[in-house]
Amino acid sequence: MIRRTLLAIALLAATAPVRAQQSPADVIPLIDAHVHYSHDAWDYLPTQEAIAILRRSSLRKVLVSSSSDDGTQKLFEAAPDLIVPELRPYRRRGELSSWVRDDSIITHMEARLAKYRYVGIGEFHLYGADADLPVPKRMVALAKQHRLFLHAHSDAAAVQRLFVHDPNAIVLWAHSGFDRPDAVRDMLKRYPNLWADLAFRSDHASSGKVDPEWRKLFEEFPERFMVGTDTFTPERWHYIEEHAKWSRAWLADLPRALAEKIAYRNAEALFARTGYGYKVPPLN
Amino acid sequence: MKLPAAMALLLALISAAAQAADFDAAQTRRILGHGPWPPAESADRSNRLSGNRDAVRLGAMLFGEPRLSGNGAISCQTCHRPDHGWSEAKARSEGLRLQDRNAPGLLNVRLQRWFGWDGANDSLWAAGIRPILKDSEMGGSAAATAKLLREDAPLACLAQRVAPDYATGDDEAVLVLAAKALAAFQETINSPRTPFDEFRDALAANDRAGMARYPEAAQRGLALFTGRGQCGMCHTGANFSNGEFHDTGLVFFLNDPDRKPGTPRRADPGRHGGIAQLKANRFNLLGRYNDDASGQASIPARHVEQQHRNWGEFKVPSLRNLTATAPYMHNGSKPSLRDVILHYSDLDEDRLHSDGEAILKPLKLAEGEIADLQAFLESLSVPNDTAARYENLRREAAACR
């Protein structure tokens, strides 16, 4: 009887399809560089649930900015090993288009910068000549003073103005400006301190395959891109895990070294450029 | 008596001219784009039973057939009530369990290209299979459906007429036959002409007296709809829907009364989940049951891909016969037309991605404008005889021997 059972097991093993087991080492580490935990998310998604989503998504680090910054601090306090904080200028949702003309934003940023540590200021929304207004200019000066990058949801014109205000600024261009690959290329060529996230855009990959134009761009600037979800409403927190899977699928279509850079190494290099004191943790 | 009557007619014509002048050339073009009604009918090439009179009767019979469900108590018309615009008054439907979404109305459903709030089906017949098989809706099966069509005399009579060799097919093929008959019936649930259609045709013909018969409040609402409101950007064409999916700033967390304290809330993935379901569905138009040999019907399913923006997007509903289908939105969260209008009037822009739905801005409507917009929307509704025609079809079907 035992012999027959063993034989059956052996037969099953021999005839079963060979399935490639994915070991943890095969799962590419990932940094989500575009997450918000704003006040309307706190009730829907208490801090521990939010952290659980991030852990479940096997994220190495998460770059978080929130309206208000208290959301970022809640997450950082709960998971300092996971959360990388950046300072969003907004004190609440609804300041997206008014902050550029609101002097009190400066006082707010100065107070937060005195109290907490950050890798950057952002994500903020800034377009065209608005970048020359006093509030954004002072923000650039604060970033310079504290050695922080600027996470700009901007058109190319506003990014260019940020570099006029501080030619040595480091800018993370949110959504790669929603620009076409050619336009992104022009900007990356022109500004060595410009980095770009790919949040909330789907044009660079489809069904796990990288678009040829974007592939060329990634190969040309392998150290300048990173991925992110953009949780602009509370519900989108439930998309983080799906987004991580989607990102890992298209990254697997790239050579491993390039994929690792876009997946997490570029973000870590960016964090390390700031005054935050970011220490690159060992790989699991 | 004659003089005042002539004066009244003259005044009416002058008034009509003034009203017509309220629509500029662009608006006039947009208004004309919402017709003519009814549109030309064309058969669904993916469904060989489309337009088949016996299939329509069989579909009508099946639509009210509770034996399609696992507990023998739920039929299509449980949630798609003929006397409620083929929808129902509940915010979220109840099959065997409470559903996450509102039952969409079925009037003019043949004009849609994706089916369900998330477009998880690319044909009307496949959309009919989902509730039959889904555990939480009707909980039926291919085997039970096939048995019913083989053993029930009127159903078997009609099935034999539309597909003489159906009884020798496997259970799944019979299920598909039933679904295609259901679709053939639903294609006949069409709404009649409305006061708006009369106005639109009068405008096309420059018939000022005809235009003057359209209430002024509705005309002002139409001006808002096609002008500042930009409603017609998504609610396009004669059926007032572009058939696609958008995020209009609605909360799409699921209101789950059974959720245990301390467990996370769930979000409705909307179109994002719908595309995943479509791709995984063996009854999609890429599968073996598509009757369209040209391959045209399956083009959308072949090319549609998930995008990040699809998370929480829901289908743009038709606006025809809205007054019969309250409550509104994918989750039935807006009890009245006024609530829907207020949603767009007070739109929370923070819930929209700044590079997403660029045309959506809070309309900040005055009270009079809200009333005007509602008057226009109501002018897209008239009573219809679809419920009576349904009963007639069922009587005809029951007589099949």
pLDDT digits (tens, 9 = 90+) for A238-271: 999 999 999 999 999 999 999 999 999 999 999 9
**CB pair distance less than 8 Å for A94 and B350:** yes
Range of the domain at A145: 2-10+28-272
DSSP letters for A216-256: HHHHHSTTSEE------SGGGGGGHHHHHHHHHHHHTTS-H
| Omega prior to B38 cis, within 30 of 0 | yes
Residue A170 lies in a domain: yes
Percent of chain A with pLDDT over 70: 91
Q: Which residues, in sequence order, are bridge partners of residue B121?
A: B115
- Residue in chain A closest to B347 (alpha carbons) equals A94
Question: For the CA atoms of chain B, what is the radius of gyration?
Answer: 23
Q: Which CATH fold would you assign to the domain B5-41+193-252+317-378? A: Cytochrome Bc1 Complex; Chain D, domain 2 (1.10.760)
Find out whether A76 and A83 touch, Cβ atoms under 8 Å: yes
Between A281 and A248, the higher pLDDT residue: A248
Find out whether A41 and A99 touch, Cβ atoms under 8 Å: no
Please state, as a whole number, how many other Cβ atoms lie within 10 Å of the Cβ of residue B39: 14
Backbone angles phi, psi at B343, to 5 degrees: -60, -45
Domain B53-190+385-398 has CATH 1.10.760.10: yes
Mutate to test the interface with A, among B245, B355, B360 (most CBs of A within 10 A): B355
**CB pair distance less than 8 Å for A94 and B269:** no
Residue A21 lies in a domain: no
- Residue in chain B closest to A97 (alpha carbons) equals B354
A146–chain B Cβ distance below 8 A for any pair: no
Using a CB-CB distance cutoff of 8 angstroms, which residues of chain B are in contact with residue A242? 269, 272, 311
- Residue in chain A closest to B254 (alpha carbons) equals A235
3-class state of residue A166 by DSSP: coil
Contacts of A44 (CB under 8 A, 6+ apart): A234, A235, B253, B265
**CB pair distance less than 8 Å for A45 and B265:** yes
3-class state of residue B66 by DSSP: helix
Q: DSSP letter for A133, please.
A: S
Find out whether B320 and B194 touch, Cβ atoms under 8 Å: yes
pLDDT digits (tens, 9 = 90+) for B44-94: 999 999 999 999 999 999 999 999 999 999 999 999 999 999 999 999 999
Strands B314-315 and B245-246: antiparallel
Name every residue in B having a CB less than 8 A away from some CB of A: 251-253, 264-269, 272, 305-309, 311-312, 349-351, 353-355
Residue A281 lies in a domain: no
What pLDDT does B20 receive? 44
Closest of B83, B316, B88, B35 to residue B194, by C-alpha: B35
What pLDDT does B356 receive? 65
A·B CB contacts under 8 A: 61
What does the alpha-carbon distance between residue B52 and residue B184 come to, in Å, rounded to a whole number?
7
Q: DSSP letter for A281, please.
A: P
A235–chain B Cβ distance below 8 A for any pair: yes
Q: Least CB-CB distance to A238: which of B267, B309, B353?
A: B267
3-class state of residue B310 by DSSP: helix
pLDDT digits (tens, 9 = 90+) for A42-61: 988 999 999 999 999 999 99
Which of B320-352 are b and which e, b meaning 16 or more Cβ less than 10 Å from the residue's Cβ?
bbbbbbbbbbbbbbbeebeebbebbbebeebbb
Domain at A90, CATH number: 3.20.20.140
Q: Least CB-CB distance to A200: which of B268, B308, B350?
A: B308
Q: Which residues, in sequence order, are bridge partners of residue A64?
A: A35, A85
3-class state of residue A125 by DSSP: strand
**CB pair distance less than 8 Å for A202 and B350:** no
Mutate to test the interface with B, among A233, A239, A241 (most CBs of B within 10 A): A233
Percent of chain B with pLDDT over 90: 83
Q: Assign B256 a pLDDT band (cuts: 50, 70, 90).
A: confident
**CB pair distance less than 8 Å for A206 and B305:** yes
What does the alpha-carbon distance between residue A180 and residue A154 come to, in Å, rounded to a whole number?
14
pLDDT digits (tens, 9 = 90+) for A23-32: 555 789 999 9
What pLDDT does B352 receive? 82
Contacts of A74 (CB under 8 A, 6+ apart): A37, A42, A47
* Mean pLDDT rounded to a whole number for chain B: 92
pLDDT digits (tens, 9 = 90+) for B321-348: 999 999 999 999 999 999 999 999 988 8
The total domain count for chain A is 1
Using a CB-CB distance cutoff of 8 angstroms, which residues of chain A are in contact with residue B350? 40, 93-94, 96
Residue A15 lies in a domain: no
Question: Nearest CA to CA, how far is B307 from chain A (Å)?
Answer: 6
Q: What is the mean pLDDT of residues B217-232?
A: 94
**CB pair distance less than 8 Å for A178 and B305:** no
Closest of B165, B164, B159, B154 to residue B179, by C-alpha: B159
What does the alpha-carbon distance between residue B269 and residue B224 come to, in Å, rounded to a whole number?
32
**CB pair distance less than 8 Å for A238 and B309:** no
Domain boundaries along the sequence of chain B: 5-41+193-252+317-378, 53-190+385-398
Q: Is the dihedral of CA B126, B170, B45, B322 positive or negative?
A: negative
pLDDT digits (tens, 9 = 90+) for B8-31: 544 444 444 444 446 888 899 999
A39–chain B Cβ distance below 8 A for any pair: no
**CB pair distance less than 8 Å for B272 and A239:** yes
Find out whether B132 and B68 touch, Cβ atoms under 8 Å: yes
Q: Least CB-CB distance to B253: which of A200, A235, A242?
A: A235
pLDDT digits (tens, 9 = 90+) for B179-212: 999 999 999 999 999 999 999 999 999 999 999 9
- Residue in chain B closest to A203 (alpha carbons) equals B307
Question: Nearest CA to CA, how far is B349 from chain A (Å)?
Answer: 8
Q: DSSP letter for A180, please.
A: -
What does the alpha-carbon distance between residue A133 and residue B184 come to, in Å, rounded to a whole number?
62
A200–chain B Cβ distance below 8 A for any pair: yes
Residue A78: pLDDT over 50 = yes
Please calculate the CA angle B202-B190-B30 and round it to the nearest 5 degrees.
35
Strands A171-173 and A149-154: parallel
- Residue in chain B closest to A43 (alpha carbons) equals B265
What does the alpha-carbon distance between residue B396 and residue B401 come to, in Å, rounded to a whole number?
11
Q: DSSP letter for B193, please.
A: -
Residue A140: pLDDT over 80 = yes
Residue A278 lies in a domain: no
Please calculate the CA angle A167-A61-A35 and round it to the nearest 5 degrees.
70
Residue B239: pLDDT over 70 = yes
